[in-house]
Amino acid sequence: MTLDDLIVFYNEFAPASVARFPEFYSDNAYFKDPFNEVRGLPAIQRIFTHMFGQVAEPRFVVTEKVADQNGAMLVWEFYYRVKLWGKGEAQVMRGVSHLKFDADGKVCYHRDYWDAAEELYMKLPAIGTLMRGLRRMLAA
Protein backbone atom coordinates (compact mmCIF):
# COMPACT_ATOMS: atom_id res chain seq x y z
CA MET A 1 0.00 0.00 0.00
CA THR A 2 1.21 3.49 -0.84
CA LEU A 3 0.05 6.79 0.60
CA ASP A 4 -1.55 7.58 -2.76
CA ASP A 5 -3.52 4.29 -2.55
CA LEU A 6 -4.75 5.33 0.89
CA ILE A 7 -5.77 8.77 -0.41
CA VAL A 8 -7.76 7.15 -3.23
CA PHE A 9 -9.43 4.92 -0.60
CA TYR A 10 -10.48 8.01 1.38
CA ASN A 11 -11.55 10.03 -1.67
CA GLU A 12 -13.72 7.15 -2.95
CA PHE A 13 -15.00 6.16 0.50
CA ALA A 14 -18.47 4.57 0.43
CA PRO A 15 -20.41 2.17 2.71
CA ALA A 16 -18.82 -0.83 0.98
CA SER A 17 -15.36 0.64 1.69
CA VAL A 18 -15.66 -0.12 5.40
CA ALA A 19 -14.92 -3.78 4.64
CA ARG A 20 -11.65 -2.71 2.98
CA PHE A 21 -10.08 -1.24 6.13
CA PRO A 22 -7.88 -4.36 6.66
CA GLU A 23 -6.11 -3.52 3.38
CA PHE A 24 -4.95 -0.20 4.83
CA TYR A 25 -5.06 -0.44 8.66
CA SER A 26 -3.26 -2.79 11.03
CA ASP A 27 -5.36 -5.14 13.18
CA ASN A 28 -4.59 -3.19 16.35
CA ALA A 29 -4.72 0.32 14.83
CA TYR A 30 -5.52 3.26 17.10
CA PHE A 31 -8.11 5.88 16.06
CA LYS A 32 -9.08 9.13 17.78
CA ASP A 33 -11.26 12.06 16.76
CA PRO A 34 -13.20 14.62 18.86
CA PHE A 35 -15.89 12.02 19.69
CA ASN A 36 -14.17 8.62 19.61
CA GLU A 37 -11.04 6.93 20.88
CA VAL A 38 -10.73 3.26 19.95
CA ARG A 39 -8.23 0.54 19.17
CA GLY A 40 -8.65 -2.31 16.70
CA LEU A 41 -10.14 -2.72 13.24
CA PRO A 42 -13.66 -3.74 14.35
CA ALA A 43 -14.00 -0.61 16.50
CA ILE A 44 -12.72 1.66 13.73
CA GLN A 45 -15.07 0.04 11.23
CA ARG A 46 -18.00 0.60 13.64
CA ILE A 47 -17.23 4.33 13.74
CA PHE A 48 -17.38 4.65 9.97
CA THR A 49 -20.45 2.40 9.67
CA HIS A 50 -22.13 4.66 12.24
CA MET A 51 -21.11 7.73 10.19
CA PHE A 52 -22.90 6.35 7.13
CA GLY A 53 -26.02 5.91 9.27
CA GLN A 54 -25.94 9.52 10.47
CA VAL A 55 -25.12 11.48 7.33
CA ALA A 56 -26.23 11.44 3.72
CA GLU A 57 -23.92 11.84 0.75
CA PRO A 58 -20.66 11.76 2.76
CA ARG A 59 -17.54 12.48 0.76
CA PHE A 60 -13.93 13.04 1.79
CA VAL A 61 -11.61 15.10 -0.38
CA VAL A 62 -7.93 15.06 0.55
CA THR A 63 -6.56 18.46 -0.46
CA GLU A 64 -2.96 18.29 0.80
CA LYS A 65 -0.45 15.76 2.06
CA VAL A 66 2.83 15.95 3.94
CA ALA A 67 4.64 12.68 4.48
CA ASP A 68 7.85 10.93 5.38
CA GLN A 69 8.75 7.25 5.81
CA ASN A 70 7.02 7.05 9.23
CA GLY A 71 3.74 8.80 8.64
CA ALA A 72 1.69 11.50 7.01
CA MET A 73 -0.54 14.48 7.63
CA LEU A 74 -3.55 14.69 5.33
CA VAL A 75 -5.58 17.88 5.04
CA TRP A 76 -9.15 17.08 4.06
CA GLU A 77 -12.64 18.39 3.53
CA PHE A 78 -15.63 16.25 4.48
CA TYR A 79 -18.86 17.01 2.63
CA TYR A 80 -22.17 15.69 3.96
CA ARG A 81 -25.84 16.30 4.67
CA VAL A 82 -27.29 15.59 8.10
CA LYS A 83 -30.06 12.99 7.91
CA LEU A 84 -31.74 14.36 11.06
CA TRP A 85 -32.24 17.65 9.25
CA GLY A 86 -34.09 15.92 6.41
CA LYS A 87 -31.04 15.88 4.15
CA GLY A 88 -30.94 19.65 4.41
CA GLU A 89 -28.24 22.00 3.30
CA ALA A 90 -24.91 20.53 2.29
CA GLN A 91 -22.25 20.92 4.98
CA VAL A 92 -18.47 20.89 4.87
CA MET A 93 -16.09 20.08 7.70
CA ARG A 94 -12.37 20.76 7.40
CA GLY A 95 -9.70 18.86 9.27
CA VAL A 96 -6.37 17.08 9.34
CA SER A 97 -5.52 13.41 9.88
CA HIS A 98 -2.21 12.48 11.49
CA LEU A 99 -1.24 8.98 10.36
CA LYS A 100 1.58 6.68 11.43
CA PHE A 101 2.51 3.49 9.61
CA ASP A 102 3.73 0.14 10.93
CA ALA A 103 6.55 -1.97 9.46
CA ASP A 104 4.10 -3.39 6.89
CA GLY A 105 3.15 0.10 5.70
CA LYS A 106 -0.34 -0.06 7.22
CA VAL A 107 -1.91 2.68 9.32
CA CYS A 108 -1.34 1.90 13.00
CA TYR A 109 -2.23 5.38 14.33
CA HIS A 110 -4.94 7.71 13.00
CA ARG A 111 -5.73 10.92 14.86
CA ASP A 112 -8.21 13.37 13.36
CA TYR A 113 -8.00 17.03 14.29
CA TRP A 114 -10.98 19.25 13.57
CA ASP A 115 -12.78 21.98 15.46
CA ALA A 116 -16.05 20.49 16.72
CA ALA A 117 -17.32 23.92 17.82
CA GLU A 118 -16.80 25.63 14.47
CA GLU A 119 -17.40 22.69 12.17
CA LEU A 120 -20.39 21.13 13.94
CA TYR A 121 -21.87 22.81 17.03
CA MET A 122 -22.19 26.26 15.43
CA LYS A 123 -24.23 24.71 12.63
CA LEU A 124 -26.80 23.14 14.96
CA PRO A 125 -30.10 25.04 15.27
CA ALA A 126 -30.30 25.74 19.04
CA ILE A 127 -26.72 25.26 20.18
CA GLY A 128 -25.39 27.15 17.18
CA THR A 129 -27.00 30.41 18.28
CA LEU A 130 -25.35 30.11 21.70
CA MET A 131 -21.98 29.14 20.21
CA ARG A 132 -21.99 32.04 17.75
CA GLY A 133 -22.88 34.45 20.57
CA LEU A 134 -20.08 33.10 22.74
CA ARG A 135 -17.65 33.40 19.86
CA ARG A 136 -18.60 37.06 19.32
CA MET A 137 -18.12 37.77 23.04
CA LEU A 138 -14.65 36.23 23.10
CA ALA A 139 -13.39 37.66 19.80
CA ALA A 140 -10.91 40.55 19.93
pTM above 0.85, yes or no: no
Asked if residue 135 belongs to a domain, the reply is no
Q: What is the pLDDT of residue 54?
A: 87
Which residue segment(s) compose the domain that 73 sits in?
3-114
Asked if residue 81 belongs to a domain, the reply is yes
Number of folded domains in the chain?
1
Alpha helices in 77-124 (DSSP H): 116-119
Give dist(CA 16, CA 140) in Å, integer. 46
- Average pLDDT across each block of 10 residues of the chain; the chain has 140 residues. List them in order: 96 96 98 96 98 91 95 96 72 95 97 78 63 68
Asked if residue 27 belongs to a domain, the reply is yes
Residue 110 pairs in a beta bridge with 31, 99
| CA dihedral angle for residue 136, residue 140, residue 75, residue 62, rounded to 10 degrees | 40
Give dist(CA 7, CA 21) in Å, integer. 13
CATH number at residue 36: 3.10.450.50
Asked if residue 94 belongs to a domain, the reply is yes
Asked if residue 72 belongs to a domain, the reply is yes
Strand locations in 42-125 (E): 55-67, 71-82, 91-101, 107-113
